[in-house]
Structure 1
Amino acid sequence: MPELPEVENVKNTLNRLIRGKTIADVKVLWPNIIKYENLDEFKLRLIGQTIELVERRGKFLKIHLNEDTLVSHLRMEGRYGLYEAQEEFDKHTHVFFTFTDGTELRYRDVRKFGTMHLFVRGEEERQAPLSKLGYEPFSNEFTVNVLKQGLSKTNRSIKAALLDQSIVVGLGNIYVDEALFKAGIHPETNANKLSLPKVKTLHQHIIETLKESVEKGGSTIRSYVNSVGEEGSFQLELFVYGKKGEPCKKCGTMISKTVVAGRGTHFCPKCQK
């Protein structure tokens, strides 16, 4: 967490909150979040720049300023919020972007796993961490043939192939489990063994599942909220994720849980043989 739908909703709320604001000061209380060689230079480069647009690439946020782009990954617990600069904050708040209007964008991260990279604008896609990402699932370039070709190159499990972000981006544990269930594919199936009809069905359900979750504000499983504190509701629509021991909504068989690619994995033994 968060995955594509949650990051998409954070992106949308940030665009409403911070577009057009100019950075007057930057404060970093946990330097490990900043993946930039010189922390003082990182702060100095941002001061005076105006936020023009926030975009999403896979699970990453791209905060475009007039000269640079800040690439941010929320990882497990990261979240952004806009506050008045004088408001109190807790020990889990680590990065502060103070604006000239007296408001402050704050980054809070209980586990401190999140990252921030800074690039000259236009260079962010040419370097890690964005340079090796696969196709956006909502793009015209993400076709059935592209998915089939990507999967044909690996004998890993289909779950592992979808999690690694090199073929298609934005899918994590929740949405891989859900898409595979809807497509009737067992998560341990070798990716290169899937027939074209199965890949076509999987392609359809990847897109449909992610779109539906975006529309419902994402899934709030543990702590996810968007940048204005709103929870998602797609968790109410889940078929298998987190449903171990519950009856399958399609066939009534008890949902099972195993470990695939190092991740807890939920599936229906009857619908996903």
Structure 2
Amino acid sequence: MPELPEVETVRRGLEKLILGKKISSIEVHYPKMIKTDLGEFRKEVPGQVIESIGRRGKYLLFYLTDKVLISHLRMEGKYFYYPDQIPERKHAHVFIRFEDGGTLVYEDVRKFGTMELLTPELLKSYFISKKLGPEPTKKDFDLLTFEKALKKSKKPIKTHLLDQTLVVGLGNIYVDEVLWRAKVHPAKSSQLITGKEARAIHEQTISVLEQAVDKGGSTIRTYTNAFGEDGTMQDFHQVYDKAGQACSRCGSIIEKIQLGGRGTHFCPRCQRRS
């Protein structure tokens, strides 16, 4: 957490709150979070205007006057906007202050989140170096390319979907949901996925993530959007965090295993391995 739907929800919220604002100053209370030169970061950000806010996979992109601020929320990152007074926040690490008196605050309990400042022309090569797959849309996520990539890997399908090279945006929660809907066992080798299964995974990846964006993401523990509101996608989960409960499709008991170090939920009847 957060995965693509949560990041997209945050992006849309921030777009309503800070677009067009000019940055007057920036305070960094946890320097390790900044992955570019800290001195340059502190010098270059003030004076910039937030012209648009984008997203690539799970990365937030703040398009400034002549720079791009790349923010990865990792496990617990959150943004909050305060139009005037800022309350005492224990886990606030970056304060972006605007000329109109408002402040965008980045909070992160685990301090895993990162920020980087690039010139726009370096953005393409930056993401090429990350080896990110396509966005999970009908336009970008090509089925044939997906099937060919599966045949080249012996990784368990869940592990492969999590590594962001096949398609971006899937994390632990939504991979479990996609594979349940596609009726594919999470430990099945990628190269053994049939054409029918690949098409189902492809279709359900697009469908699940679209639904999750529509529902404002999933609030499992601490996730909230830019307005401090919970998402509701968790109300529509069919398998994630439901170990010991009956499968809504067949009535079998949902199981949980460890796969690649991740808790993994599946239905033993609907998602047979062989």
> TM-score if structure 2 supplies the norm length?
0.97
Question: Contact (CA 8 Å) 2:95, 2:103: kept in 1 or not?
Answer: yes
- CA deviation digits over 1:147-195, x for unaligned, max 9? 1112111101000100000110000000000000000000000001111
Judge which range, 160-169 or 114-123, deviates more.
114-123
User: Does 2:172 match 1:173?
Assistant: yes
How far apart, CA to CA, are the structure 2 residues paired with 1:203 and 1:76?
A: 25
How far apart, CA to CA, are the structure 2 residues paired with 1:242 and 1:140?
A: 31
Partner of 2:14: 14
Shift of 1:91: 2.0
Partner of 2:82: 83
> Are the structure 2 counterparts of residues 139 and 52 from structure 1 closer, same or farther at C-alpha, using a change threshold of 3 Å?
farther
How far apart, CA to CA, are the structure 1 residues paired with 2:249 and 2:141?
A: 29
Alignment of structure 1 residues 219-230 onto 2, 5 Å = 219-230=218-229
Partner of 1:24: 24
User: Does 2:159 match 1:160?
Assistant: yes
How far apart, CA to CA, are the structure 2 residues paired with 1:176 and 1:260?
A: 12
Judge which range, 119-128 or 71-80, deviates more.
119-128
Question: Contact (CA 8 Å) 2:138, 2:206: kept in 1 or not?
Answer: no
How far apart, CA to CA, are the structure 2 residues paired with 1:269 and 1:85?
A: 53
Q: What SS class does the counterpart of residue 121 from structure 2 fall into?
A: coil
Shift of 1:81: 0.8
Q: Percent identity?
A: 47
How far apart, CA to CA, are the structure 1 residues paired with 2:87 and 2:71?
A: 24
> Are the structure 2 counterparts of residues 28 and 5 from structure 1 closer, same or farther at C-alpha, using a change threshold of 3 Å?
same
One-letter identity of the residue aligned with 2:24: A
Question: Contact (CA 8 Å) 2:36, 2:117: kept in 1 or not?
Answer: yes
Partner of 2:60: 61
- CA deviation digits over 1:87-145, x for unaligned, max 9? 23322000000000000000000110100011002312312586421110115131211
Alignment of structure 1 residues 1-273 onto 2, 5 Å = 1-37=1-37, 39-127=38-126, 131-138=130-137, 140-273=139-272
Shift of 1:51: 0.3
Shift of 1:68: 0.4
Shift of 1:86: 3.5
Judge which range, 133-142 or 206-215, deviates more.
133-142
One-letter identity of the residue aligned with 1:137: P
Q: What SS class does the counterpart of residue 225 from structure 2 fall into?
A: coil
One-letter identity of the residue aligned with 1:26: I
How far apart, CA to CA, are the structure 2 residues paired with 1:107 and 1:272?
A: 40
How far apart, CA to CA, are the structure 2 residues paired with 1:68 and 1:160?
A: 34
One-letter identity of the residue aligned with 2:31: P
> Are the structure 2 counterparts of residues 19 and 139 from structure 1 closer, same or farther at C-alpha, using a change threshold of 3 Å?
farther
How far apart, CA to CA, are the structure 1 residues paired with 2:96 and 2:222?
A: 23
Q: What SS class does the counterpart of residue 51 from structure 2 fall into?
A: strand
- Aligned-pair Cα RMSD in Å: 1.2
> Are the structure 2 counterparts of residues 140 and 129 from structure 1 closer, same or farther at C-alpha, using a change threshold of 3 Å?
closer
Q: Which runs of 5+ in 2 are unaligned?
A: none
> TM-score if structure 1 supplies the norm length?
0.97
Question: Contact (CA 8 Å) 2:13, 2:225: kept in 1 or not?
Answer: yes
Shift of 1:241: 0.3
How far apart, CA to CA, are the structure 2 residues paired with 1:268 and 1:129?
A: 36
Q: What SS class does the counterpart of residue 254 from structure 1 fall into?
A: coil
Question: Contact (CA 8 Å) 1:26, 1:98: kept in 2 or not?
Answer: yes
> Are the structure 2 counterparts of residues 227 and 219 from structure 1 closer, same or farther at C-alpha, using a change threshold of 3 Å?
same
Question: Contact (CA 8 Å) 1:124, 1:130: kept in 2 or not?
Answer: no
Question: Contact (CA 8 Å) 1:85, 1:98: kept in 2 or not?
Answer: no
